[in-house]
Structure 1
Amino acid sequence: MAGLLLLLVALAGAPAQAQVLDDSTKVIYGPKTTRLLHEADILRDSTEGAILDTSLTRWTQARFWYHDTTFQQDLGAVVTASRPLLYQPNIQLGARFGRNAFDKYARNAADIPYYDSRSPYSFFRVVQSGEGEQVFEISYSRSLKKNFSVGIAYERFASNKILAASGRAGLVEHSNLLLFGRYQTENERYHLLFNIGNARHKASEQGGIRPLAGDQPRDLFNYERQSVYLTKAQNTEDRDQLHLLQTYRLLGRGLTLYHVFDVHRQYNSYRDENIPYDGSALLFYPTTLVNTTNTLDRAEFRQVENTLGVLGRTDRVEYRLYARHRGYGLTSQRASATSTVDKPDLDERVLKNSDNQLFVGGTAAFNYRKIYAVEVAGEYKFLDESWMRATVRTGPLSGEILLSSYSPTLTQQEFYGNHYQWPDTGLVRNERASGRFSNTTALHFTARLRQRLPGFSDHHFEASGSLVNLSNLVYYGTDGRPTQSTGVDNQLLILFARHQVRFGRIAFDNQATYTQGGDVAGIRIPKLVGFSRVYYQSYIFRKALFSQVGVETYFQSRYRAFNYSPSTQQFYQQDLFTIRNYAIADVFFVADIKSVSVFLKFAYINQGIYRDGYFTTPYYTGYPRRFQLGVKWNFFN
């Protein structure tokens, strides 16, 4: 504890150099002079931006360390394959690769932050735990001229094995390098945003715990002493993207022309150098189609998009209309029967799929102060897919209807590997699968209430209710292969509530999502998912340090979670393993010292009180009790 106090005292003095001062030692540049812009702001013809978020509320919560903040089902360790735990509507039309297991950790080029600062701005953040969790990011941006700024960012996420671990064996490593910039003319008539990014992801796949004869799920919390199915399997994913947005005002803010150019490449490779057997019996995999000793499956998806449109904005009306062209190509390969670990040899037979697609869409909104608002939006792909959304808001109440019809992903339509291949009618070189599945249609009705309540400080209440009807859902069945619930309608009732309130220095933030109908073919959702945060905040050290100390609790009810297939990178349905309900409690201390934020966290402090552990995916256990440390430091010079 003495060492910790010395660290905090040192940090309290250091940030004074991280802000630009004038001769009277008055701070000129800081969080309030650095504006944050996104592509969505420019597409609303707004350049005001927002101030930096320096609050402590999200800093200790692990789901806000990455680029997807939704609750996720993963493989028990950070940076492992994951999928949204709660229902998420789909409005992505047309050709989609369908390899999304690592989306949580990859940046979305349309959501990149751009900085408008009168001085150079940089920051770094790092999170480390005793179990090998690591999050690191460093970013630097500066203005080269009054209306031109560039920046560079690098991030690395990593974790060590917690199952069958020998020492500090690495499990997953993700890195991302990003170059970004923005330019605008003096009269703000022309705007340009651009970013270039590449992401590299390497994950050792273990296949989950291999139980011994007679083992029950409660017997499988020995972590590093457990046995696993796969010992030399690895998934590799590379993503490269170039993204550019241009806008030009033709008639002030009432009529602006815009263009979006996007080039995207995603490469996935799965390799297992030691296919597991028990004697002559094949383990883990359903079969080996070509090579009985080692697997090497590869797929590469390339996409080029051009979007051209017009937009406009007044005090009460906003609109945007566009047309988009997409050209794409998918190539799949697998190792030949004679391929070995030392001499890999890809099958000469290559499965290719390429096409061009055209979309039109737009949005229109009318706002009357803060009293009343109407918005309609939609997109149509020629000639067979579409989505449409209409929203009405009056005061704190709003209602929404969303109707969508979309095709299955390219991976759901065809796959070419050593352990799986679909469709079964063996396609030849350059041939493609089509018409296997009909479109999935979804209808959503949602009502929301957002209200600031009187009586206490920071008193907010939010609630929503949704009715969802899904028809012809395409999903991965119990054999790991895609299937469709043809002629079957699935209904979901989703209720959400969140309450925030502060009594003096004590604050509460509680939220819960209830889902009815989440245990049917193709859908696996816990009935109740909740998160609670209770903390005490105050200044200490003569107001030199602002701190919060409290408890975070996550709760999830029992459900039959999806299993995971590493060779296809897909979560698929299983009916034999039920993940019991569990709660995870974390105790934290977080402090803000001028430009520095530090947190200390004792995670899963309740381990052993009710159970010795929990499962996140069948035969994948979550982290045991551990200590976490995080530091974030902003610089404004």
Structure 2
Amino acid sequence: MRFFTFAVFFSFFINLTFAQILDDSTKQVYGPKSVKFRLEKNILKNFNTEYNPDTTLENFYKSDILVERNWLYQDLGNIGTASKSILFEELSDPSTKLGLNAFSLYTPNVANFRYYNTRSPYTNLFYMQGSNGHIRLDFTHSQNISPRLNFTLNVSKYNSSKQIDATNAEEKLIDHWNYDISTNYSSKNKKYTFLGTFYHLNHNQKEQGGILIKENLSIDIKDLKSNYRRFYDSQFTNGVYNTERWNNLHTYQQFVLKNGFQVFHVLDYEHQKHIFVDPQFSTNSTQLSYNIEPTVLENDSLIQNFSFNVLSNKVGFKGRYKGFNYLLHARQRFYRLDNKFSEKFKTNLKSETFLGGSLGYYFKDSSNFLNADAEFSASLKNFLLNSKLSFKGLEGTFYQSVIPVGLFYDNFDNGVIGWNNSFKGLSTTHLKAGYGLKYKSLSFKPELANTLLGNYVYLNQKLKPIQTDTIINITNLILNVGINRPKFKASNQFILNIQNAKDIYKLPTLINFTNIEFNFTYAKVLKIFVGSDVFFKSKYTADAYSPLLNQFYLQDDFQVWGVATIDPYMSFQVNKVRLAFKLGHANQGLRYQGFYTSPYYLATPRAFLFKVDWPIFD
């Protein structure tokens, strides 16, 4: 891996040297503006919006998806680990799901697939390495076969390392890789459009069970040691892991008839495979993280292996009439749960039928709009409604849904723990409003969100699913303040959470994210950004994580967070090559030697991170 880092630096040096040799009169024909991509959600809504690859330094330093989203998730302290959202997240459809979402941040989302149109071959190389064993390599290559036909390949591979009970800095905790192959085609008269993607994902998490409690070593936050690998052991023996493997095929096609009237078709096939293995389950079952009675199995090992298959077929028509976008569709969905370890946790082939549509009005300035999307099951038992308003700084959302509980919560059995329920559909009503104000370089945006959860389902302290019979009311008061000047930028997001069910729905009362950044240009060509992030969550009794179920569950004793982390960074750009350096948790040791993000799971200690992005446009 050191050799690879050296190769990147060497290639970068050669590129800079060659750039300096070029004559000043040399003109660059191809670049970010000659590469464009579209998103399916825009095509579906009749927008011809095209985007260019991001070559700016803004937010380039951010190291992973949790940091990109201001750490508004609970995780197991390392990149790629099981996580759950702290705040409300909208769903996109009311269909029956499996209900296992611990790795959902790292699984495919067809809304984010990019469909390119390139004038010349486009390649992007991305590499990131951290001193704590985190390594990421991304590769993109896109090329038009003809002016109307494109093929694209994306490959992503990353690892993060164990921070406790590891013999070396590169012993893997997370092993993730995915690739997708996509194509898009438009007919010469632009009446026919086709988009298609095949996606594969393999996400593996080694399960350690968190820190092992020892009589002679306190794990209280005030007593933590700085060298985690030296002082702390994991609760489990080696060989325990959870894996998700996905294979997805997604196609979209539309045909324009007279007067802009269009018909469209969407086909999705999704195959999920979930595997859990503990080769010494009888031994590990005595540990706190399993939270079960010690269990002796006949062959000492536990293996769970099941798959979830979904085929979805959607047809509809859409168009634009007097400034309004309209869409109507019907969707047929088939799903099946196959199981190799228990006949009880199995669902034969079932079907669901949905009718839906959307209606939106967009002003000449596309940032101002009113849009509503809805989908109802044929029985009208389940539905989802999502409406949004954006007008001259005012933003509003009204979301309401009734969706089935996941199959996992209704019926599960692995020979050690199990249940059989008949839960009602989950009811959610969410309202959010915000108003943005600007005065010169100052910005101010207060937001108010309120969420009502009915028939809420959770895993209790004994790992049993419980459905509430009362409404959970959660209110989020959000204040965003910013300063944006040519050489200086600062922003702060403050969130106050108020709710009526603190014993069931665990939230930190306060969340704060601050960013301060300076930028300047050195020698007229080198753009440099220097800044720091500060993250803070107030102390709270977050849900515990169950490796056996790959889910979070309720606990009342172990408190996490309650500290601030400071992450200084520097990023710069030469020509099109972007580089960033970051020191995560730089303030470790000033007050505490660490903190917990989940019960028994430590946050990643102070670590240096290097990041480079190199686009090639010809």
Q: TM-score, normalised by structure 1?
A: 0.89
Shift of 1:158: 0.7
What is the deviation of 1:372? Answer: 6.3
The equivalent of 2:187 in structure 1 is: 185
Cα distance in 2 for partners of 1:583, 1:311 equals 49
What residue in structure 2 maps to residue 461 of structure 1?
444
Change beyond 3 A, Cα 1:272–1:8:
closer
- In structure 2, the partner of 1:28 is 29
Partner residue in 1 for 2:228: 223
Residue 557 (structure 2) pairs with residue 576 (structure 1) = yes
Aligned to 1:101: 102
Q: Within 5 Å, give how 1:494-505 maps onto structure 2.
A: 494-505=476-487
Q: Which residue number corresponds to residue 544 of structure 1? A: 525
Q: What is the match of residue 479 of structure 1?
A: 462
Q: How does 1:80-229 map to 2 (within 5 A)?
A: 80-167=81-168, 168-213=170-215, 215-218=218-221, 219-221=223-225, 222-224=227-229, 225-229=231-235
Q: What SS is found at the alignment partner of 1:469?
A: strand
Q: 1:492 Cα deviation (Å)? A: 0.8
Seen in structure 2, the aligned counterparts of structure 1 residues 68 and 421 have a Cα distance that, compared at 3 Å, is: farther
Q: Does 1:442 align with 2:407?
A: no
Deviation at 1:45, TM superposition (A): 2.3
With over 3 angstroms needed to count, the CA separation of the structure-2 counterparts of 1:622 and 1:416, relative to structure 1, is same
Q: Pick the aligned partner of 1:395 from 392, 395, 399.
A: 392
User: Would you say the 8 A contact 1:276–1:283 is kept in 2?
Assistant: no
Question: Cα gap change, 1:521/1:408 in structure 2, threshold over 3 Å: closer, same or farther?
Answer: farther
Instruction: Say if 1:220 and 1:519 are closer, same or farther in 2 by CA, change over 3 A.
Output: farther
Contact in 2 for aligned 1:22/1:28 (Cα 8 Å): no
* Distance (whole Å) between structure 1 residues aligned to residue 407 and residue 18 of structure 2: 52
Cα deviations by residue, 1:130-154 (Å, 9 ceiling, x for unpaired): 1101121101000000100001111
Shift of 1:555: 1.1
Is contact 2:344-2:413 (8 Å) kept? no
Distance 2:304 2:127 in 1: 34
Moved more, 441-450 or 394-403: 394-403
Counterpart contact for 1:586–1:603, Cα < 8 Å? yes
1:270 matched to which residue of 2? 276
* 1:380 matched to 2:385: no
Please tell me the residue identity of whatever aligns with 2:515. R
Which structure 1 segments of 5+ residues have no match?
A: 335-346, 424-432
Aligned match of 2:337: 330
**Counterpart code for 1:624:** P
Residue number in structure 1 paired with 2:490: 508
Give the SS at the match of 1:42. helix
> 382-391 or 31-40, which moves further after superposition?
382-391
Give 1:223's aligned amino acid.
Y
Structure 2 matches for 1:545-624, cutoff 5 A?
545-624=526-605
Number of corresponding residues: 603
8 Å Cα contact 2:289/2:547 also seen in 1: no
The one-letter code of the counterpart of 2:377 is K
* Matching residue of 1:340: none
Shift of 1:284: 4.3
Q: Which amino acid aligns with 2:266?
A: V
Does the CA contact (< 8 Å) of 1:549 and 1:590 recur in 2? Answer: yes
SS in 2 for 1:11: helix
Alpha-carbon spacing, 1:382–1:109, altered in 2? closer, same or farther (3 Å) = same
In 2 relative to 1, CA 42–302 (structure 1 residues): closer, same or farther, beyond 3 Å?
A: same
- Aligned CA distance change for structure 1 residues 12 and 34 (closer, same or farther; 3 Å): farther
* CA-CA distance at 1:91 after TM superposition: 4.5
Q: Residues 351 and 416 of structure 1 are in contact (CA less than 8 Å); yes or no, is this contact kept in structure 2?
A: no
Query: What is the Cα deviation at residue 220 of structure 1?
Result: 4.4
Structure 1 residue corresponding to 2:326, chosen from 319, 329, 342: 319
Shift of 1:502: 2.4
Hey, what's the Cα distance between the residues in 2 that align with 1:284 and 1:400? 39
How far did residue 273 of structure 1 move?
0.7
Deviation, 1:437, is 0.7
**Pair 1:362-2:357 in alignment:** yes
Q: Structure 1 pair 146/297, CA: closer, same or farther in 2 (3 Å)?
A: same
Contact 1:182 1:191 (C-alpha < 8 Å) held by counterparts? yes
- Cα separation, 1, equivalents of 2:93 and 2:279: 36
Q: Aligned pair 1:627/2:577, yes or no?
A: no
CA separation in 2, counterparts of 1:361 and 1:549? Answer: 48
Check the 8 A contact 1:276/1:282 in 2, yes or no.
Answer: no
**Matched letter for residue 468 of structure 2:** S
Query: 1:58 touches 1:64 (CA, 8 Å); kept in 2?
Result: no
Tell me: CA distance 1:361–1:350, structure 2 relative to 1, closer, same or farther (3 Å).
closer
Q: Is residue 530–residue 554 contact of structure 1 (8 Å, CA) maintained in 2? A: yes
Structure 1 residues 292 and 228: alpha-carbon distance in aligned structure 2, compared to 1, 3 A threshold: farther
Q: What is residue 301 of structure 2 aligned with on the other side?
A: 294
3-state secondary structure, aligned to 2:340: strand
**SS of corresponding position for 2:42:** helix
- Are residues 67 and 411 of structure 1, via their aligned partners in 2, closer, same or farther at CA, if it must alter by over 3 Å? farther
Query: Which residue identity is paired with 2:354?
Result: F
Amino acid at match of 1:446: K
SS in 2 for 1:51: coil
SS in 2 for 1:524: coil
After TM superposition, the score normalised by the length of structure 2 is 0.91
Q: Letter of the aligned partner of 1:573 in structure 2?
A: L
For 1:372 and 1:50, the matched residues in 2 are separated by 19
Q: CA deviation at 1:292?
A: 6.7
What secondary structure is seen at the aligned counterpart in 1 of 2:439?
Answer: coil
Q: Cα distance, 1:268 vs. partner?
A: 0.5
How far 1:9 moved relative to its partner? 10
Q: Is the 8 A contact 2:75 2:82 kept in 1?
A: yes
C-alpha distance 544-418 of structure 1, shift in aligned 2 (>3 A)? farther
Q: Is residue 432–residue 448 contact of structure 2 (8 Å, CA) maintained in 1?
A: yes
CA offsets, 1:72-105, max 9 Å, x none? 2111111111111222244531210112111212
3-state SS in 2 of match to 1:558: coil
Q: Which amino acid aligns with 1:178?
A: D
Task: Find the counterpart in structure 2 of residue 11 from structure 1.
Answer: 12
CA distance in 1, matches of 2:585, 2:86: 20
Q: CA deviation at 1:526?
A: 1.3
Residue 24 of structure 1: CA displacement? Answer: 5.1
1:416 shift after superposition: 2.1
Q: Is the 8 A contact 1:12 1:544 kept in 2?
A: no
Query: How far apart are 1:352 and its partner, in Å?
Result: 3.4
Q: SS state of the match for residue 436, structure 2?
A: strand
**Change over 3 Å in CA distance of 1:128–1:485 after alignment to 2:** same
- The 1:138–1:534 alpha-carbon spacing in structure 2 relative to 1, beyond 3 Å, is same
Is the 1:595–1:633 Cα contact (8 Å) retained in structure 2?
A: yes
1:241-278 CA distance string (max 9 Å, x none): 0000001111243x111100000010001010112549
CA distance in 2, matches of 1:390, 1:282: 47
Matched residue of 1:520: which SS? coil
Q: Closer, same or farther in 2 for the Cα pair 1:10/1:150, shift >3 Å?
A: closer
Task: Decide whether the 8 Å contact of 1:446 with 1:465 is kept in 2.
Answer: yes
1:248 corresponds to which residue?
A: 255
Asked if the contact 1:496–1:513 (Cα under 8 Å) also holds between the matched residues in 2, the reply is yes
Distance (whole Å) between structure 2 residues aligned to residue 6 and residue 216 of structure 1: 41
Distance 1:10 1:502, change over 3 A: farther
Give the SS at the match of 1:412: helix
* CA distance 1:170–1:367, shift in 2 (3 Å): closer
* TM-fit CA distance, 1:619: 0.3
Question: How far off its partner does 1:438 sit?
Answer: 0.9
Question: Deviation of residue 186 (structure 1)?
Answer: 1.2
Structure 2 gaps of 5+ residues are none
d(CA) in 2 for partners of 1:595, 1:118: 18
Residues 421 and 631 of structure 1: CA distance in aligned 2, closer, same or farther (over 3 Å): same
The answer (yes or no) to whether the contact 1:560–1:576 under 8 Å persists in 2 is yes
